[in-house]
Amino acid sequence: MTSKSVIICGGGIVGLSCAYYLARDGWSVTVVERNAEGADSCAQGSAGYVSPSHVVPLAAPGMVWNGLKWMLSSKSPFYIKPRLDADLLRWGWLFARSCTREHTVRAAPVLRDLSLTGRRLFVELAALTANAFELRQEGLLNLCKTQQCLDHESHGLARLANELGVEARVLDARQTAELEPGARMDVAGSVYFPVDAHITPRKFMPALVTLLGQMGVTFQWNTSVNGWRVEGGRVGAVSTTSGELRADEFVLAAGSWSPDMTRGLGIRLPLQAGKGYSLTIPKPRFKLTKSLILTERRVAATPMGDQLRFGGTMEISGINDRIRPERVQQIIDAVPVYFPDFTPADFAGIKPWFGLRPVTPDGLPYIGRFGRHPNLTAACGHAMLGVTMAPSTGLLVSEILGGRKPSIPLELLTPDRYA
């Protein structure tokens, strides 16, 4: 146990998870969040997957070619809006460098360990909160419309996952239908990952805030971090719109805003915001039990209580709140291809939500101390896996600050890897 103090900069799912594991270790924890309690954050409208099946990093072989092809179409699943920006050019160059088989081989076991640990910790958190956030341990189906896609998934993702000890079963159309009897699907088959799970993120965030309040965590809502006081190489205080706050340790958990937050510290963290959209149908025409991926279209579908959420697309277009209708339409158009009973009318009147995923060039998060300021620890850059990995990131941060051996090796995750 410790009586030392820590300030967590950013109160998204990752910051709150860090707060939980640090408070559990006896730290005096303050979370500084520029938004009000209960405000939207990236996890809230996400697909809510807790997905050890996602063992392939975003920066994977073939992505450079696909990326270049997709760049030309704002309707593609992965869209980089061309712009002359030094940070984007550097990020793009580092991303291209990571799209190798060697990188996948090194990164996949780390992603697996972060995700499996995250899943285990979600089970513990569900037990602590009477499952207030609807954790469902039903697995995930990667639906393939065509046999070609199914063959590709079987030889690629399913094989890699099985090699890494994450069970993947290749199913034909009949076996797929047996796993989701409530929905009529037009698919060639699927890959089933029994270990995957999902949550309702809009219920998870308030449940965690309540738990943290009971543990004595202090919240500074409506408070923006806008600078730092550095004393002899260490961070002495963070400057905020509510004044200067001192602590022994600081955690950077500002998602897509993390590079902005560190600018005054002489740190240049390569990270781009990856916009994604979701649409939540309050009364869907059928009930699913599992989370699904419409593989060819890269669209996610998740049952959340009585609701059904569809989400997807990755748009690297900077930090802005512009909703591109053509990208939302791409999600709507994909659904009837796999579920013939659905029509675009099912989405009438539903307001699209967007969130900004914090995307690193190599598809691995930044977790670890900064060499330049050793009492500042990074917990950001989780891209498409920030829900899945939030608890394991929190646990790792508590191990780092507590001086314990990290339960997952940190070498590939260091925030100094591009310094």
Ligand X SMILES: Cc1cc2nc3c(=O)[nH]c(=O)nc-3n(C[C@H](O)[C@H](O)[C@H](O)COP(=O)(O)OP(=O)(O)OC[C@H]3O[C@@H](n4cnc5c(N)ncnc54)[C@H](O)[C@@H]3O)c2cc1C
Q: Which residues contribute to the site for ligand X (CB under 6 A)?
A: 9-15, 32-35, 41-43, 46-49, 224-225, 253-257, 261, 276-278, 311, 355, 357-358, 380, 382-388
Q: Per-residue DSSP letters for 149-188? A: HHHHHIIIIIHHHHHTT---EEEEHHHHHHH-TTS----S
17 CB-near residues (< 8 Å, 6+ apart): 208, 390, 391, 393, 394
Please report how the helices 201-214 and 13-24 are oriented relative to each other, as an axis angle in degrees rounded to 10: 30
Q: Output 192 or 277, the one with its CB closest to ligand X.
A: 277
Q: Output 9 or 364, the one with its CB closest to ligand X.
A: 9
Please classify residue 222 by burial: count the beta carbons closer than 10 Å to its beta carbon, then call 0-12 exposed, 13-18 middle and 19+ buried: middle
Cβ atoms of 123 and 382 within 8 Å: the answer is no
243 CB-near residues (< 8 Å, 6+ apart): none
Q: Output 184 or 229, the one with its CB closest to ligand X.
A: 229
Least Cβ distance, residue 262 to ligand X (angstroms) = 10
Residue that is written with structure tokens 């009318």 in the block: 345
Q: Output 175 or 320, the one with its CB closest to ligand X.
A: 320
Q: Output 101 or 223, the one with its CB closest to ligand X.
A: 223
Cβ atoms of 47 and 311 within 8 Å: the answer is yes
Least Cβ distance, residue 22 to ligand X (angstroms) = 15
Least Cβ distance, residue 169 to ligand X (angstroms) = 21
Least Cβ distance, residue 249 to ligand X (angstroms) = 17
Distance of CA 286 to the CA centre of its chain: 27
Cβ atoms of 12 and 44 within 8 Å: the answer is no
Cα–Cα distance between 222 and 142 in angstroms, integer?
A: 40
Supply 17's token pair.
């998870």
Cβ atoms of 57 and 103 within 8 Å: the answer is yes
Distances in whole angstroms, Cα of residue 198 to Cα of each of 21, 118, 134, 397: 21, 12, 8, 23
Q: Output 67 or 255, the one with its CB closest to ligand X.
A: 255
Q: Output 148 or 267, the one with its CB closest to ligand X.
A: 267
Least Cβ distance, residue 77 to ligand X (angstroms) = 12
Q: Output 176 or 388, the one with its CB closest to ligand X.
A: 388
Q: Output 266 or 340, the one with its CB closest to ligand X.
A: 266
Cβ atoms of 388 and 50 within 8 Å: the answer is yes
Least Cβ distance, residue 270 to ligand X (angstroms) = 16
Positive or negative: CA dihedral 270, 105, 171, 51? negative
| H or E, element range at 18 | helix 13-24
Least Cβ distance, residue 364 to ligand X (angstroms) = 13
Q: Output 98 or 280, the one with its CB closest to ligand X.
A: 280
Least Cβ distance, residue 393 to ligand X (angstroms) = 8
Residue that is written with structure tokens 């977790």 in the block: 367
Least Cβ distance, residue 9 to ligand X (angstroms) = 6
Least Cβ distance, residue 50 to ligand X (angstroms) = 7
Cα–Cα distance between 57 and 65 in angstroms, integer?
A: 16
